[in-house]
Amino acid sequence: MSLPAPNPVPALRLPTVAPLADSALEARLQHLIDRKTKPTGALGRIERLALQIGLILRSERPVLDAPQMLVFAADHGIAAQGVSAYPQEVTWQMVENMLAGGAAINVFSRQMGLALTLVDAGVAHDFAPRAGLVTRKIAHGTRDASVEPAMTTDECIRALEAGRELVRALPGNAVLFGEMGIANTSSAALLLAKFAGVPLSAAVGRGTGLDDAGLARKREVLERALARHAGATEPLDVLAALGGFEIAMMAGAMLQAASERRVVVVDGFITGAAQLAARALAPQVHDYCVFSHLGAEHGHAALIGALKAEPLLAMGLRLGEGSGAALAWPLVDAAARMLAEMASFESAGVADRDA
């Protein structure tokens, strides 16, 4: 008797992310920025950010419309190895806290006028349907990456596709990213080591607050995971072996946002790892990303360095949830408004410096 054929793994479909470079538009934007009523370069990082936003939105008078905060939540099988100071059930409990409006990201989103959507990408808990929650659960958490691949190829592709679908359904031209998931700093550290060649000693940190013994145990577990999946070299294989459902879904969402020429605001260490995965799949996505802050998690500095990114803030944050992205949002908005609304020397009738 012949066995039924296994279901085929769906092919990975990536959106087209156009190169951001446009020398003619860049020259016009730079001229406009230089002619604002200020000394050349006086607004520093804001000027470079304004140029990036103008290029992304292809506008000399950009307006950031209906910014969306997406927070992806999922659990990780590697948590069973004791790599986190908190138990796994904190993931779903914190999602409930967010749904009740009590988390930091709720406070900051309300303050900044950001539309907040929580996404169940793979939490080991079933939530009752309610406003503000989108269920795209791939499974009740990934597998233990120190023992086997965290995801199958099929699961990883489904997570990427789900992220793309979520963004396609959202209004606006800016998406901010956050996450929640006990043990996801372990997944992020593994992805940083694999995608960027960063030693685990520089990638692994205390996460939610491990003591010295816990940190040593985490490093040992991640060394085993990295060795077990040494043969994974293609981006999709690496992401499936070592990633999390929320990280893969964020990567897909970032790819889709960039393909639609939306501004992508990256939060901290875990969202940065998702950006690493997205960049491995489509390198151009990097140019659409604004990196909100340099966090206190040990591996974040190495990740920022590997990405050659220029974060907007450095405030010792290590919360996640998209909190750093939300706090940086006023600077992103200010940069766009400066380009669109600030007077030039000519329009204001202000004398420029002597030639």
Two structure tokens written together for 201? 């000693």
Cα separations in angstroms, 189 against 123, 154, 184, 223, 285: 20, 23, 9, 11, 21
Q: d(Cα 178, Cα 186) in Å, to the nearest integer?
A: 16
Q: Give the dihedral sign, CA 339/345/347/348.
A: positive
Query: Which residues lie closer than 8 Å to 1 by C-beta, 6 or more apart?
Result: none
* Interatomic CA distance for residues 270 and 264, integer angstroms: 15
321 is known as an active-site residue:
yes
Query: What is the CA angle 27-24-26, rounded to 5?
Result: 40
The four Cα atoms 336, 337, 342, 347 give a dihedral, to 10 degrees, of: 80
Check residue 8 and report its DSSP letter: P
Q: CA 9 to CA 25: how far, in whole Å?
A: 42
On whether the CB atoms of residues 82 and 217 are closer than 8 A, the answer is yes
Task: Tell me the β-bridge partners of 266.
Answer: 291
The token pair that represents 228 in the structure block: 């077990």
Beta carbons of 290 and 52 less than 8 angstroms apart: yes
Q: Which of 89, 321, 341, 346 is the catalytic position?
A: 321
Tokens for 262, please give them.
Answer: 């939306």
Count Cβ atoms below 10 Å from residue 14 Cβ, excluding itself.
16
DSSP string computed for 318-352? ---TTHHHHHHHHHHHHHHHHHHHPPBHHHHTPPP
Q: Provide the CA 185 distance to its chain's centre, in angstroms.
A: 13
Determine the Cα–Cα distance for residues 279 and 281; give it in Å rounded to an integer. 5
Positions marked catalytic = 321
